[in-house]
Amino acid sequence: MKVTVTGGAGFIGGHIAEELAAEGHDVTVIDTFVPYYDLGIKEHNVEAARAAAAESDGSYTLIKESITDEQMVDAQIADADVVYHQAAQAGVRKSVEEPAKVNEFNVTGTVNVLEASRRHDVDRVVVASSSSVYGKPQYLPYDEDHPTEPVSPYGVSKLATEQYARVYNEVYGLPTVSLRYFTVYGPRMRPNMAMTNFVSRCLHGEPPVIYGDGEQTRDFTYVDDVRRVNKQLLTDDRADGEILNIGSSDNIDIQTLAEVVRDAIDPSLELVYDDPRTGDAEHTHADVTKAGELLDYEPTVSIREGVEQFIEWYRANEDWYDPLVRNS
């Protein structure tokens, strides 16, 4: 099949592109390569997917352009069977600083992708959404019927993204599925996340820094579970028109996460606390019942198993991945 992955050089998009290339599909990646973080990590995502394509009967093409370019998007989706729309200006704190930029990439860019997919009769568009759409919890775990009152421009943009996808399904008959990711982590993840900061600091003998009191909770989802459900949606139409939580159903508070990382690397380190970050949600916890009923989705990696796997991977790739090593 011919597949287009927007944001396909990023963390989740890179894993999806690699998985589909390894399965022998013809993969086209659109990624603007904005230096929001070290672009060397994106280059490794590209290399992994190219290597996967070389070992299969598939192909891999990289287009270094922005989804805000309507004509380019139309041209790259014209022959696609399925589109994975993963591209976005990520980061809650970044969105607080530059809300207009987030809206341009995440909302206008999404409409470009959906419109091109509608024009060219794409079989399915799988859209990346986020648990950030929920905002302050009225109850936990979040199910898909929970009120959506995001507390950051990023959350608002993701809510608009999935609602545009729903409307394109209902009004135009375009098959769409929106996946609300809950704090995805794993190999080649963005380096400016809590888990990567904890691991990096501990490996260098520095105490992990917790922003706030550490009582915030997160539902951390290992990237292998995310890539598996995305690959399934290449041909599975049972969730067309739906919005689904994709999480681990296993949440943990940030202090405990810091302790788990610290204890695995250097138990002698103390924990350090700093001011909380603006726009961060206090709690996330996924109810994945709906995804289980529609797609037989079941998370397979617990947070403690995932942390252990991530630390092992981090040690093996520290020379190119760790910011302190790269900049030394």
Catalytic residue numbers, as ranges: 154
261: CB partners within 8 A, 6+ apart: 195, 198, 199, 202, 208, 307, 311
Question: How open is the CA angle 111-112-118, to the nearest 5 degrees?
Answer: 85
**Each residue of 280-295: b (16+ CB within 10 Å) or e?**
bbebbbbbbebbeeeb
Question: What dihedral angle (degrees, nearest 10) is formed by the CA atoms of 33, 153, 96, 104?
Answer: 40
Task: Report the C-alpha gap between 34 and 103 in whole angstroms.
Answer: 16
Q: Do 255 and 294 contact (CB within 8 A), yes or no?
A: no
Residue with tokens 């995805």, as numbered in its chain: 184
